[in-house]
Structure 1
Amino acid sequence: MRPGARRVGALSALTVVSIMTALVSGTASATAVAAPSSSVAQAKKSHSPAQTRAHQTGPDLQVVKTGTTAVRPNGSVSYTITVKNNGPGTSTGWTVTDYLPAGLLNPASSTPGCTFGAGVMTCVGGPLAAGASSTITVTGMAGPNFTHIQNIATVIGLEPDPNLSNNISSATTAISGRLADLQVAKTGPATVEEGDRVTYTITVTNNGPNTATDWAVVDRLPSGLRDARASSGCRISRGVLTCTGRPLASGASVTFTVTGTAGRVTALDNTVTVQGRELDPDHSNNTSTLHTTVTPRIRADLQLTKTGPTSAAPGATVTYTITVKNNGPDASTGWTVTDRLPARLLNPTTSTPGCTISGGVLTCTGGALASGASSTITVTGTADQRFNGVENLAVVHGNDVDPNPRNNTGSTAARHLRITESVKAPRVIRRGDTVRYTIRVRNTGTVAYTSARPASFTDNLSGVLDDARFNGDMDATTGTVSYAEPRLHWVGTLRPGQTATITFSVTVQRRSSGDRRLVNRVVSGAQGSNCAAGSRSRDCSTLDRVDVRDQGRRRDLMASDGPRLAKRS
């Protein structure tokens, strides 16, 4: 060995092979674990049928050795040896042999029955029932000229052992001049409700003795944590959180936070791990696991409908009826209806239990409402001199999660929106031709579409753009029109009787891989629209064909090919 070189404190390969051969072959005894191969062969021949039966019913002794994973030169080392009887029989006695490596200086044990001699610790134990265990501790000091210590222990019982493969165990201790005991702890709520925002705190601490120069935190976030966000120094990719930071001095800590929304799951189980460049003398604190129970929230789809006149003769009695229905799936635990009554309704009153009127606002509080059940509210008053085209809007809010909040409002307003689409193009459309579209939106109702509740539509041009290109010349007489391929969108306010006209064009491409069909359909989610999703109105769609033959032909507009041409300018 050259001067200055550091050694490995471990048993020789020959010694380890001898131990394992003796154990697995079934010839090891309490006094001769590393028997010569000739003795092994001789003992193997001596097994009688009675001994074979004893092997099958005897106690299965198991040894597990754990200890310090990393230490500085001349630092303290501690090992724990656990002997367990896996049964089925009771062990009347056993012997543990621990082959102490040269790198473990001043070995000692306070466990009764253990002695030291010639680099070997021998521990003798008494009866051990099936399922019982016995523990041995060994301490020492890491040699200054070694890179690591490998320590092997074996156990042999007085009875035949049916499974000798678990009668040997080893532990390795790394020896280095730089150690950093990194510890990670994750904290958060023990219980949350579905839909709640959840905040986790991850704290990394360097317990020393040296600075941690390079370290990283890895946290595979639970799939039930939606819309996860992390603090500075962290990133989230494919559900895995990774955090890094500057060198962490001994005794210093750094904290990260992770937030997200609890999904529709029963629990959020999360384990975070920290690893550093320096050797870590204690791996037991490198992970932290947190369990958060998620309680499901009640889901009740409350729907509100309101009926009543929009016009009435002066002095006439006006009655509004508000119906709250629970569409389920769960029973509602409670709800509140709010209705700002029109100023032209004089002396409003209600006899419905749970309802009050204050400052022109009707407020009704309801209790539990089973799935499928309804509750009705009535309000009466007197029409003033100009009770005409009056809109009255009521809103319901439940105590529980509402899976469909779009039906939580009801109005007496007469909202009607009529949309018509037309196309202007050559009688025979060929490649290179320009096709112009006109969409007219008219408020045919008695109530205005306002900025709070505007009129709107979306035109998906996917069925056009496979054969044509959008010319970017969209225009609107009122409102705002925008385009984000492949959709054209318009939104605007319309007073009763007002019309908005939207125009744009496309040019048929000379080369394309499309179906030579220009299919265009308008969809509007505005209240009272004739072009709602799923509408079959011909006013909402157009169809034209592109003729690629040398001789033009009349376009086929048969209904079997799809929606017919709506209108032509």
Structure 2
Amino acid sequence: MRVRQEAVPGTLPVGERATLRVTVTNAGLADAQDVTVTDTLDPALTLDVAGLPDGCARAAGRAVTCGGPGTTLLPGQDVTYDLPVTVDPSLQDGAEVSARAEATASPAEADGTETAEAADAALLTAPVRAFADVELVMAAPPVVNAGDVIGYLLTVTNHGPARAAGVTVRSRDRGAGATVTDRPAAECPGSGRTVACDLGDLAPGEVRTLTLAIAPASSVPFENCATVRTAGRDRDLADNRSCASTTQVEPSPAPAEFPPPPGGQDRPPADRGEPPAEAPYDEPAQPANESFAPAAEDADAKDSGGEGDGVAEEPRTAGEVAAYGLPVTGVSLWMLALGVPLLLAVGLLVRFLSRRERAGRAR
């Protein structure tokens, strides 16, 4: 019996599925009966039971058996079993795993009797290759007011399949005179325009976030970039760099505020479609039970025995004019105020002329 074992691929990928291929050959001259293969796996290898080929099953501990009673190999005949396994994702790049395969059989003599059991064993030692896929995404607001600080969110993700060892993030702004105003002190110590962060190891599927704040020196569009690196093997380097650009604009002026009117109350807007209302005018009340009578003649005319022809009446006040029935309905106050002095002036003139006429008659 001859047994041979190999890893497919030759370097096992950490965190991914691989195959241990075991081949048993009957190198003797007689038939090999009840051929049994037992493969004991390294603790870093996990057997995929559902993917085992026909004739194979899990055995005690970390062993798997294939073949068994009824399995016969003719001289020169061989049989191959592919055992699916998954490599532990926590293994570091360059580590080694092992597996020991042993084949046994019972050769039969020509008369049908079985002879002593034949056996062979093969020890496989295979290196592992750890590949990770570390991705960095940087996000920032597309627009801020001029003079504002720009905030950045950096998201680091290990897409696996292996653990990412020694992950570091580095950011260096592109604007001269810009200032880093905030950074995570634990992961990104130090000062200056360059930010260097040490995240250590990231397990497959692990996500880490970082926040930065940068104050640009000018109001031109500002771009900031960052990169992520791992000390191990990175399967995809295209997603290791990310940039974010922000445009700065002048803030809009605040609307003007007008002081409130005196007294703290808002005045209602004037209605320009209607004329202003006139001030009310109260007409003097007529004395009760008093009839209108003509004005008495001038006392001087009575004394002189004249009949009063051509003698002007005494001027009346505005109230008297209204009381004697002067139609004032619809007349505004300013017209009434102008008419009163005019009436007084005419009355004085008539009185003056009347006295001159009486004086002439007396002579």
TM (normalized to structure 2)?
A: 0.36
- Structure in which a larger fraction of residues adopt strand: 1
- Structure in which a larger fraction of residues adopt helix: 2
